[in-house]
């Protein structure tokens, strides 16, 4: 199905999010849509998939003008969208999610649906258990479920919005193989991303947005420097961060153990020194997140001790860690980090220590304006958090941190961010390190781990490596360790009884 967007405009108050975009996407094409955070990519795709309506412009499918009142309306006409965070129901089973929104009404034929789920999954090499609960799946598996569901519902144009965020390299390769097959079968794939290497590896053609406008198009093979210049209006270079002199231990873990229903990690011993950055690497679900949360007091460890600034904090809640000078920045910014409907001004005011019961509106606005300027947030004091792009939400989270922090825990610091925003975030974080703040973080981006970590811990199959100097690793070597190749040579000898139940990826 050929897709044509003609002179698409969209306003959100005074913000002109899409400015007269005209783009034609031939059937059977993997079309990349590239741009920095806030460039208008997601807005354009939400218009195409029926989530929002344009203020001006026209959509044509195979030359036929169409208009959509809802995502269900768009799907009936063959357009389906897979969002960065899958829109599913985690407490429900895979099969129940699969039939959600199907034309079979409230009581679809479950046996027919089960066979369809298994058949389509098999075609693409997916391993989906119809009776498993969605909250036991990895992000990659939840994406696979949504792909299978959209295909079953008849989608001929599939939109993928930053689909590789938070999934492992192995899951990404499986996703790319599925997208190539879909294109070979004549389906149209629109791949929204800010990652140049993904465009180079996957897309037949690419369109670049900047500040709501279509600034250029290109076909493979690509001149990556030219694409960067179109995205940002300048050439950007990336290098490893300069090392920071290290101080005394800030966080001390001794024989720390954590577990969940799938794996049991034991014997993690580590000192993190002032100014140091420690990265956690591994396939999704390998235990990095649980270790990070146990070290921050968000969950209780099942063994071992945690000392923060020389004080035994084992088993104490996160609030105690926070009061002592630590903070935790989660990957899910809108669920765990921010309040969607509160404004920038309200967030900044809540983060400040208050001396009375009443807040001064003018003071709140001044604080917010200061944060906006210091952290380059694209918004106004009255802008709600949900209206900010992912990059600006992350900048707001950084703006809310206390100036005297000694330790920052982070999940995927640059998740879903473009190159320039990611570099900006890490400049701010490394400024903290130079003042003695330590950073303990996890990421699925191998280059991020290597560029900014002093040492890396690799997780594989319920085991953890000894701390590995980042300067002795490269992307290929780190990827091999994550996949288990050569892991025994770097494993932490203290871990003698690895136990896994089910898959670790």
CATH number of 249-325+404-500, picked from 1.20.120.530, 3.40.50.1370, 3.40.640.10, 3.40.50.300: 3.40.50.300
- The reported pLDDT for the residue numbered 502 is 33
What is the structure's pLDDT at 408? 97
Averaged confidence pLDDT in the chain: 87
CA distances from 439 to 26, 120, 306, 322, 416 (A): 46, 43, 16, 14, 20
Confidence grade of residue 354 (pLDDT, cut at 50, 70, 90) = low
34-89 pLDDT per residue, tens: 988 778 898 999 999 999 999 999 999 999 999 999 998 999 999 999 887 667 78
Could you read off the pLDDT of 113-128 as tens digits, one per residue? 899 999 998 888 888 8
Specify the DSSP class assigned to residue 14.
Answer: T
The whole-number pLDDT of residue 103 equals: 66
In terms of Cα–Cα distance, which of 311, 179, 214 is closest to 17? 214
Opening angle at CA 333, ends 332 and 337, nearest 5 = 110
Section 469-474 average pLDDT:
91
Q: How confident is the model at residue 480 (pLDDT cuts 50, 70, 90)?
A: confident
**What's the pLDDT tens digit per position in 265-292?**
888 999 999 999 999 998 777 889 999 9
Strands 30-34, 205-210: pairing kind: parallel
For residue 16, what are the contacts with CB-CB under 8 A and spacing of at least 6? 9, 10, 212
Cα–Cα distance, 124 to 453 (Å, whole number): 36
Cα separation of 284 and 278, whole Å?
A: 18
Provide the pLDDT confidence category of residue 105 given band limits of 50, 70 and 90. low
Query: What CA–CA distances, in Å, run from 393 to 78, 215, 375, 387?
Result: 32, 25, 11, 9
Q: Is pLDDT at 90 greater than 60 in this prediction? A: yes
Inter-residue contact 9 to 394 (CB < 8 Å): no
| pLDDT tens digits, one per residue of 188-214 | 999 998 788 889 999 999 999 988 999
Residue-wise pLDDT for 367-401, tens only, equals 999 999 988 888 899 999 988 877 788 889 989 99
Q: How many residues does the chain have?
A: 505
Q: How many CB atoms lie within 10 A of CB 308?
A: 24
Alpha-carbon Rg for the chain, nearest whole angstrom, is 23
Q: Is the pLDDT of residue 239 over 90?
A: no
pLDDT band at 497 (very low <50, low <70, confident <90, very high): very low
Lowest mean pLDDT, pick from 11-15, 339-343, 395-399, 400-404? 11-15
| CATH architecture type of domain 3-232 | 3-Layer(aba) Sandwich (3.40)
Q: For the chain, what are the domain ranges?
A: 3-232, 249-325+404-500, 340-401
- 127-160 pLDDT, tens digit per residue, is 889 999 888 887 778 888 988 888 888 899 999 9
Q: Report yes or no: 375 and 395 within 8 Å, Cβ to Cβ.
A: yes
Give me the pLDDT at residue 186, please. Answer: 93
């Amino acid at each position: 199905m050929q897709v044509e967007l003609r002179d698409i405009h969209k306003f959100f108050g005074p913000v002109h999010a899409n400015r007269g975009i005209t783009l034609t996407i031939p059937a059977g094409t993997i079309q990349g849509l590239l741009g920095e955070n806030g460039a208008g990519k997601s807005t354009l795709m939400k218009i195409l998939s029926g989530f929002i309506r344009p203020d001006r412009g026209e959509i044509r499918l195979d030359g036929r003008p169409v208009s959509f009142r809802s995502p269900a309306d768009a799907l009936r006409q063959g357009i389906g969208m897979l969002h960065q965070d899958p829109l599913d129901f985690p407490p429900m089973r895979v099969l129940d999610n699969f039939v959600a929104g199907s034309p079979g009404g409230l009581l679809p034929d479950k046996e027919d649906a089960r066979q369809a789920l298994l058949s389509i999954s098999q075609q693409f090499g997916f391993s989906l258990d119809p009776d498993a609960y969605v909250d036991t799946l990895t992000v990659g598996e939840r994406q696979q479920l949504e792909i299978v569901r959209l295909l079953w519902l008849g989608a001929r144009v599939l939109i993928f919005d930053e689909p590789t965020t938070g999934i492992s390299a192995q899951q990404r390769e499986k996703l790319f193989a599925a997208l190539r097959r879909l294109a070979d079968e004549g389906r149209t794939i629109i791949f929204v991303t800010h990652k140049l290497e993904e465009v180079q590896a996957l897309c037949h053609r690419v369109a670049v947005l900047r500040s709501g406008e279509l600034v250029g198009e290109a076909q493979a093979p690509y001149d990556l420097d030219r694409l960067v210049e179109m995205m940002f209006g300048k050439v950007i270079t990336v290098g490893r961060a300069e090392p920071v002199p290290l101080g005394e231990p800030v966080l001390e873990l001794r024989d720390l153990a954590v577990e969940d229903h799938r794996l049991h990690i034991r014997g993690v011993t580590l000192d993190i020194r002032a100014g140091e950055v420690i990265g956690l690497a591994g396939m999704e679900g390998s235990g990095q997140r649980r270790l990070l949360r146990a070290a921050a007091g968000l969950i209780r460890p099942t063994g071992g001790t945690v000392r923060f600034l020389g004080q035994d904090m084992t088993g104490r809640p996160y609030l105690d860690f926070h009061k002592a000078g630590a903070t935790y920045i989660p990957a899910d910014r809108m669920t765990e980090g921010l309040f969607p409907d509160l404004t920038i001004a309200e967030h900044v005011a809540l983060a400040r220590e208050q001396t009375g019961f009443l807040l001064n509106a003018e003071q709140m606005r001044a604080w917010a304006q200061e944060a906006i300027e210091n952290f380059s947030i694209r918004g106004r004091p009255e802008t709600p958090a949900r209206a900010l792009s992912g990059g600006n939400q992350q900048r707001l989270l950084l703006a809310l941190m206390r100036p005297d922090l000694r330790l920052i825990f982070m999940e995927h610091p640059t998740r879903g961010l473009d190159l320039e925003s990611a570099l900006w975030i890490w400049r701010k974080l490394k400024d903290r390190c130079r003042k003695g703040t330590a950073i303990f973080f996890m990421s699925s981006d191998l280059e991020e781990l290597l560029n900014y970590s002093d040492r890396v811990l690799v997780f594989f199959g319920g085991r953890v490596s000894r701390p590995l100097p980042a300067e002795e690793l490269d992307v290929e070597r780190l990827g091999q360790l994550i996949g288990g190749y050569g892991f025994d040579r770097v494993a932490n000898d203290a871990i003698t009884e690895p136990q896994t139940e089910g898959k670790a990826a």
